[in-house]
Amino acid sequence: MTNEELHAQMVAAMKAKDKTRLSIIRQVMTEVKNIEVNERRDVTEEDVNSMIKRLIKQTSETLEMSKQAGNNQERTDVLTQQVEILESLLPEQVSGDALVALIEKTIAEVGAESRKDMGRVMGALNAATGGNFDKAAAAKEVGARLS
């Protein structure tokens, strides 16, 4: 997601009076601004996506701790909703049949023959998709094909 798309999402959330979505998008935009100010550079789409992934991880960890504590169901529901909103901001992940086809193509391109080549295949998949694929499913599939 680009910075401009993020701004458009913020405007749409304001018009829809969706306070939860608006607060999440503002949080992401604040992080974007921090990178621009602290590193004195323009933010790339990859920066925004990695920032969203980091926020998903942080929010998911907080959600898990909230579930383990077992108190305040309302807080757990809010955190669940925040994770869903953050995930909706990311581009669609490559999975299923598209992932299998990409794995076959990548194995052929890399010339992988054994499990020793699994790291090279996973690295090539990461580069091809920008890290936007189901890593666990991909590792299982690559492992099965290279055994």
Backbone angles phi, psi at 70, to 5 degrees: 75, 10
The answer to whether 31 and 51 have CB atoms below 8 angstroms apart is yes
Using DSSP, how many helices (H) and how many strands (E) does the chain show? 7, 0
> Does pTM top 0.85 for this prediction?
no
Is 71's pLDDT higher than 80?
no
Q: What angle do CA 78, 81, 43 make, to 5 degrees?
A: 110
pLDDT given at position 8: 93
For the packed helices 19-39 and 45-69, what is the interaxial angle rounded to 10 degrees? 130
What pLDDT, in 10s, does the model give residues 74-89? 888 999 999 999 989 8
Can you list the domains of the chain with their CATH numbers? Answer: 3-89 (1.10.1510.10), 96-145 (1.10.10.410)
What pLDDT, in 10s, does the model give residues 41-54? 888 888 888 888 89
User: How much is the average pLDDT of 7-12?
Assistant: 93
Work out the mean pLDDT of the chain and round it to a whole number. Answer: 88
